Structure 1
Amino acid sequence: MIQSPGLLLTIVAFALVIGPLVFIHELGHYLAARWCGVKSETFSIGFGREIAGWTDRRGTRWKLGWLPLGGYVRFAGDMNAGSQPSADWLALPAAERQRTFQAKTVWQRAFIVIAGPAINFLAAILILAGFALAYGDSVTPPVVGATLPNSAAARAGLMPGDRIVALGGRAVDTFESMSRYVRIRPGETIRVDYVRKGVVASVPATIGVRHERDRFGNDYRMGVLGLSATAPVYREVGLLEAPVVAVRRTGQIVSMMVETIGQVVTGRRSVAELGGPLSIAKVSGEQITLGPEAFVFLIALVSINLGFINLLPVPMLDGGHLMFYAIEAVRRRPVGPEAQEWAYRGGLAAILALMLLVTFNDLDNLGLWRSLAGLIG
């Protein structure tokens, strides 16, 4: 039976996920700018017309926009993409000009830009550290406990007691790391390296495909080898070690993001699997009904996703700014304003095209196109 969290709960859950994450992202930029002596003119959550706001004693306008799909901080002197002097900037009084974004060194500007994604990763690490403290660290060895009949593992000849040491040439040290590798490679043929009674051997295996539907009606396609572990093993994690475990888990999540994007680019994964804000809203509503643990873990995943995407070297994103600053640091002068203008136009076009694609996918996942087809038919 398909369950639905309802529209109101979905909207509330989406706001509880996106609102705080966008706020801390922009807060990272804001705090780094204050530390570098740059005045922030506007701190906005949401885009478009202001629906509420106030001005603090430093002259920063804090406001809410009507379109809650992001946010921004506008710095004094941030007059062009290249942060280059202009007639208006040169006309400012010296003291005021010193507090502008343009007046800062390339390293200070880069620090201000990278602080936003960095604080998203930090938030996720704190959440994952809390999970590590509460539940420990999974260290289940990658030893075959049993194989399912007619599974990929059975066809490959794997037997109980075999210790998997590598998949596709990548070393695995826990059952969890093995599962992560297999899950995102349904249908792929890989080499399995294992140890049986002290003898190292290898065998090709075609990862099986399992289709699942959860209680919300979502269909999943994932890779499976068809084997189980001997017994789950968890070890306790102390307060000092928890951040280390969290950083490792964050790195594993980012690695999976990079690999899945690579699969989309190379055609091994359909672009239809890409989702946008509507998908995040849908998942937010679903996860909040599963309990606080599932919902908080989702917040960590979205925070990592937000930090990762913003670091991509695409003009208009934080990573695009950092790319230009890196070039400026090497050349000892900024990239020309005309070249940057064209790059930012291209970046904007790419982002808008991606937004159209993921919105189309989101509406398809919500069943809009099928409903329209039914009405037309």
Structure 2
Amino acid sequence: MNEAPGFLFYILAFLLLLGPLVFLHELGHYLAGRWFGIKAEVFSIGFGREIGGFTDKRGTRGEVGWLPLGGYVKFAGDMNPAGQPSPEWLSLPAAERAQTFQAKPLWQRAIVVAAGPLTNFIVAILILAAFFVAYGRPDTPAIVAAVQDGSPAASAGILPGDRILTVGGRSVENFNDVAKYVVMRPGEDIDLQIDRAGQISEVTATAGVRTMRDRFGNEERVGLLGVQSGPQVARPVSLLEAPWAGIQQTGAILRMQIDGLGQIITGRRSVEELGGPLRIAKVSGERFAMGATEFVFLIALISINLGFINLLPVPVLDGGHLLFYAVEAVRRKPVEPQVIEWAFRGGVMAILALMLLVTFNDLGAFGVWRNLAGLIG
């Protein structure tokens, strides 16, 4: 049965999800800039025409744009994508020029740029740490309690009592590590190292494929081995342990996201799985309907995703700026303005093409193309 929330519910949940994350991302840039004495001219949540705002005593204009799909901080002196001195910048009085972004050392500019994605990761770490304190950390031993007849695990010779040491070459701490790896790889060969009564051996299992359908009608292909664990165990986590546990879990989720992107690039997963703002709105509405815990966990996932995407070495993203700063550090001189200008044009075109693709996918997720085909047919 499809229990999809209404359209307005999607919009509300999307704004509650993305608005705070964009604000915190830009706040990271802003606070790092203030730390180094850079004046911020604009702090914007959303793009396009301003629908509301105010100017603080420092002269920073805080505004809300009509298109709530991002945001930005505009620092004084940040007048062109190349970040090179311009006639306008050179004409500023010395005192004002000293407070501009361009006037700061390379390492300070790099920290300011990196502060946004870093803030996204910190938000996720804090949320996940709080979950560990509240619910404990999964710690079920990676010992096979039962093997389903005719399953990939049975075909590979895995037996009850086997302890799984590694999966896909990655060390395993608990049964949850095995499940997370396998579920991402439907139909793929998976190498496992097992300990059977002290004897270490290597086996390869071809993960089965199962299509899971949730209460909202969403379908997902997942991998399975056909093994069961013993009773689920959750280890209590203290306040002192929680930050490190949050960091570890953030790293594990980030690795899963990188794995997923790699599978799409190599063709092992369909490009249709790439989603954009519309699909985020859909998922956020569904998670919101499932309760506060599910929704807050989604906030952590999206925050990690935003941090990761912004660090990709694509011009116009934070990672693109950091790439040029790295080249500048090696060459000991800035990259030529014309090179950066063309790179940024290419980056804009790539982002626009990606947005068209994910929007096409998102409309498909909402059933638009299927309904159109039905009308035409």
Q: What TM-score do you get using the length of structure 1 for normalisation?
A: 0.98
Counterpart residue number, 2:282: 282
Name the aligned partner's letter for residue 371 of structure 2. Answer: S
Q: Which runs of 5+ in 1 are unaligned?
A: none
Counterpart residue number, 2:266: 266
Give the number of equivalent residue pairs. Answer: 377
The 8 Å contact of residues 166 and 194 in structure 1, kept in 2 or not, is answered as yes
Q: What TM-score do you get using the length of structure 2 for normalisation?
A: 0.98
Counterpart residue number, 1:91: 91
Using the TM superposition, give the Cα deviation of residue 202 of structure 1 relative to its aligned residue in structure 2, in angstroms: 2.1
Distance in 2, matches of 1:236 and 1:48, equals 47
Counterpart residue number, 2:201: 201
Counterpart residue number, 1:350: 350
Distance in 2, matches of 1:167 and 1:109, equals 41
Using the TM superposition, give the Cα deviation of residue 196 of structure 1 relative to its aligned residue in structure 2, in angstroms: 1.3
Counterpart residue number, 2:58: 58
Distance in 1, matches of 2:45 and 2:174, equals 41
The 8 Å contact of residues 278 and 359 in structure 1, kept in 2 or not, is answered as yes
Using the TM superposition, give the Cα deviation of residue 170 of structure 1 relative to its aligned residue in structure 2, in angstroms: 2.3
Counterpart residue number, 1:118: 118
Q: Superposition pairs for residues 1-377 of structure 1, below 5 Å?
A: 1-377=1-377
Residues 6-25 of structure 1 deviation map (CA, whole Å, 9 limit, x = unaligned) = 11111111100000000000
Using the TM superposition, give the Cα deviation of residue 192 of structure 1 relative to its aligned residue in structure 2, in angstroms: 2.1
Q: What secondary structure does 2:145 align onto?
A: strand
Residues 141-173 of structure 1 deviation map (CA, whole Å, 9 limit, x = unaligned) = 110011112211122121111111122222212
Q: What secondary structure does 1:215 align onto?
A: coil
Q: What secondary structure does 1:306 align onto?
A: helix
Q: Which runs of 5+ in 2 are unaligned?
A: none
The 8 Å contact of residues 82 and 334 in structure 1, kept in 2 or not, is answered as no
Using the TM superposition, give the Cα deviation of residue 56 of structure 1 relative to its aligned residue in structure 2, in angstroms: 1.0
Name the aligned partner's letter for residue 202 of structure 1. Answer: E
Using the TM superposition, give the Cα deviation of residue 87 of structure 1 relative to its aligned residue in structure 2, in angstroms: 1.4
Using the TM superposition, give the Cα deviation of residue 94 of structure 1 relative to its aligned residue in structure 2, in angstroms: 0.6
Larger CA deviation: 225-234 vs 236-245? 225-234
Distance in 2, matches of 1:158 and 1:255, equals 27
Using the TM superposition, give the Cα deviation of residue 53 of structure 1 relative to its aligned residue in structure 2, in angstroms: 1.0
Name the aligned partner's letter for residue 360 of structure 1. Answer: F
Distance in 1, matches of 2:89 and 2:168, equals 56
Distance in 2, matches of 1:197 and 1:85, equals 69
Q: What secondary structure does 1:144 align onto?
A: coil
State the 4+ residue runs in structure 1 displaced beyond 6 angstroms. Answer: none
Distance in 2, matches of 1:150 and 1:277, equals 41
Name the aligned partner's letter for residue 38 of structure 1. Answer: I
Distance in 2, matches of 1:16 and 1:95, equals 40
Identity of counterpart residues, as a percentage? Answer: 63
Name the aligned partner's letter for residue 18 of structure 2. Answer: I
Distance in 1, matches of 2:330 and 2:143, equals 49
Distance in 1, matches of 2:73 and 2:202, equals 54
RMSD between aligned alpha carbons?
0.9
Name the aligned partner's letter for residue 168 of structure 1. Answer: G
Using the TM superposition, give the Cα deviation of residue 88 of structure 1 relative to its aligned residue in structure 2, in angstroms: 1.2
Distance in 1, matches of 2:251 and 2:232, equals 22
Name the aligned partner's letter for residue 84 of structure 1. Answer: Q
Residues 186-213 of structure 1 deviation map (CA, whole Å, 9 limit, x = unaligned) = 1011222211122122222100111011
Distance in 2, matches of 1:24 and 1:126, equals 13
Name the aligned partner's letter for residue 270 of structure 1. Answer: S
Distance in 2, matches of 1:296 and 1:266, equals 32
Residues 66-89 of structure 1 deviation map (CA, whole Å, 9 limit, x = unaligned) = 110000011111012222111111
Larger CA deviation: 82-91 vs 297-306? 82-91
Q: What secondary structure does 1:52 align onto?
A: strand
Distance in 2, matches of 1:134 and 1:191, equals 35
Distance in 2, matches of 1:370 and 1:203, equals 42
